[in-house]
Amino acid sequence: MSKKNSFYFILLLATFFLVIPSINQTDYVNSTITSKTLFFIYALLGLLSFYILNLIFNKNKLVSLKISKIDIFVSIIFIFISLNRYFIQSNYGFSIRFIELVGLGLLYTILRGLTSKNFIWLLLAIIVSGSIQAVYGNLQLLGYYASNHAGFALTGSFFNPGPYAGFLTAVWPIAIGMYLFKEHNIRLLQIENKSKIVKRLAAVVFEYIPLIGMASIILVLPATRSRAAWVAVCLSSILIIEYRYSIINKFLRNTNKIKKTILTIVSIVVISSILFGVYHLKKGSSDGRLFIWKVTTEVIKENPLFGVGFDRFKAHYMNSQTNYFVKNGETQEALVADNTYYAFNEWLQYIVENGLIGAVFLGLLLYTLFKIKVKKGDKPMFAILSSGLLAIGCFAFFSYPMQILPIKLILVLILAMLSTIAIKKYEFFKELKPNKPLLVPFKIIIFIVGIISIFKVAHYATVLEQSLKTWKSALNSHQYGDYESAIQAYAKVYPELKKDGDFLMNYGKSLSINKQAKQAVKILEEAKLHLNTTIIETALGDSYKNLKQYDKAERAYQHGANMIPVRFYPMYLLAKLYEENGDKIKAVKMAQNILDKDIKIPSTAIKEIQAEMKIILQRHNNKTD
């Protein structure tokens, strides 16, 4: 690639990393997620087109493919996930995450063609993007912009403070690392041979962009109340500062064994105290995560080798939670149970979805990353990248960063950079020169395959975009009570979204409310293949009840009640069902159970339910007397 084309390509990539985190087009359903994905697809197609054209018209050697062990294990994991999802598992659903995974694989391939010098500009773009999000979050706190969640004032361009804090956490070590090693980065760009203006501009850029990034992030991060983010930021900061100044290493070298022992004990006590305080800061949330992890291990036991398939956690978790409460009764853990889509621990969720075999491949990648060797001149960059990996990895223990595209973009960039600076590589195609007879056919094949793929993906993206818009329109119609219009809109995009659990849940709910019970049952039963929640079970129960299939309605309501035992509504529906089908004994028993039930969060709805249950008791007790 010529210098001019290389400049434009890096500029496009930098814009790509800069813009995506701030995308939130509200025309789409789940806009903070889906609009980022759509932009990612379209932008990636543009980058891929530019990349292929430069590859084809490159007059020099076509390619000298250098592969590191990181590349090998990243490829193995991608291939395993794909094969497991489509060929080993019995079922798979529509998955935005898998679409993103394919795109990230292509992006990784493109990034591997860059040099260390090119990557610096992309890291600066990420810092600027983090600064924009930090400022945006502060403006939300001050009331200048609305958040994207009714329950939180601070979300940035994300759907709640969790992923917002996760993104800032991923940016933080890059910002602090680029600041601490700014002189090295300037030398790497070979700016010393440029004019005084260019050198002065570079000094300002590498001084103030990271500094502004750090200042803006540290101002807003405490307000997210994300303990995972706080811990990740602290640990990654310690690592990058130690890389830069070797404070701990120098101290330990000049300290005797007794002092080291005392220091170790004090450190353990301090760290334990901090973790204890972090746990009790939001104890309910902490207990909720511990319970989710506990149930998640049961899912792993049921599917140990290959897991349940990529992005299939939400299809299995709630059934395991139901089985837990059926087996153990309404324990204290029921107070923190809820409909759950994520494991709140990406390491556990990865094992759930990909099994122990997938975990072995991931372990090999982590081992390779731990053992990577780089040249002396690349050690500052290695320090920045290692700190970034630590931040994301630590945050992943308590949250769901691999569900958030901007965080995954940073992770892919870090992996590609580590692979680029790794010393040991295996080289291929080094003999493929311009005068070789196979070169022209090879270029033609690349061009044809590339163009066909780009057009097919562009068509798919257009269809997906329209489907997500129609789904959003259907949700709006449902909220306004126009169920007929909602159902028509859902039916229109059903062929494209028929394997999306959330879509089927929304569609089935509208059908159920509109008394189209037979069709509702069909759609809701399909939804259960890809997702299960109390919403699906109660809507399914309503539909079976309207069809006079009382046994099936009872099973659906009871399943919903067992999912989250503290909920009153499924039990209320059971009591009403028993009364409707004439089972007075069960109706009285359920009404009494509801009145005896402890209330987690008092509400008007619960008071109304209890009032109805008292009426049922009075009515049927008088008759039985």
One domain for residues 236 and 279: yes
Q: Single out the residue in 439, 467, 497 at which a domain terminates.
A: 439
One domain for residues 558 and 583: no
Structure tokens at 348: 């556990």
Provide the domain limits for residue 586.
568-625
One domain for residues 556 and 612: no
DSSP character at residue 334: G
Q: Domain for residue 248, yes or no?
A: yes
One domain for residues 526 and 577: no
One domain for residues 597 and 514: no
Q: Domain for residue 465, yes or no?
A: no
Q: How far apart are CA 237 and CA 233, in angstroms?
A: 6
One domain for residues 403 and 491: no
Which is nearest to 534 in space by CA: 545, 521, 544, 524? 524
Q: Domain for residue 579, yes or no?
A: yes
Q: Is there a contact between 398 and 345 (Cβ–Cβ < 8 Å)?
A: yes
Q: Domain for residue 294, yes or no?
A: yes
The strand ranges marked E within 212-327 are none
The stretches in the chain having pLDDT less than 70 are: 1-2, 58-64, 192-193, 280, 428-439, 622-625
Q: What residue type is assigned to position 72 of the chain?
A: I
Is the torsion defined by CA of 323, 327, 333, 335 positive or negative? positive
Give the count of domains, the chain: 3
Is residue 396 classed as helix, strand or coil in its secondary structure? helix
One domain for residues 575 and 429: no
Which is nearest to 344 in space by CA: 373, 314, 365, 371? 314
Residue with structure tokens 């997906």? 464
One domain for residues 242 and 361: yes
Is residue 374 classed as helix, strand or coil in its secondary structure? strand
Q: Is there a contact between 72 and 66 (Cβ–Cβ < 8 Å)?
A: no
pLDDT attached to residue 624? 44
Print burial letters for 55-88: b (CB count within 10 Å at least 16), e (below 16). beeeeeebeeebebbbbebbeebbebbeebbeee
Q: Cβ of 515: how many Cβ atoms within 10 Å?
A: 11
**pTM of the entire structure?**
0.94
Q: Domain for residue 470, yes or no?
A: no
> pLDDT by residue (tens digit) across 579-606?
989 889 999 999 999 999 888 888 899 9
Q: Single out the residue in 511, 536, 563 at which a domain terminates.
A: 563
Q: Domain for residue 466, yes or no?
A: no
Q: What residue type is assigned to position 257 of the chain?
A: K
What are the angstrom distances between the C-alpha of 497 and each of 480, 512, 523?
23, 19, 12
Q: Single out the residue in 514, 534, 563 at which a domain terminates.
A: 563
One domain for residues 71 and 169: yes
One domain for residues 327 and 397: yes
Is the torsion defined by CA of 424, 428, 430, 431 positive or negative? positive
Q: Domain for residue 218, yes or no?
A: yes
Q: Domain for residue 468, yes or no?
A: no
Helix 283-302 to helix 313-328 angle (10° resolution) is 100
Structure tokens at 206: 């590498």
| Domain harbouring 485, CATH code | 1.25.40.10
The torsion region of residue 340 among left (phi > 0), alpha (psi -120 to 50) and beta comes to: beta
Q: How many residues in total does the chain contain? A: 625
> pLDDT by residue (tens digit) across 419-434?
999 988 887 656 555 5
One domain for residues 339 and 486: no
One domain for residues 620 and 556: no
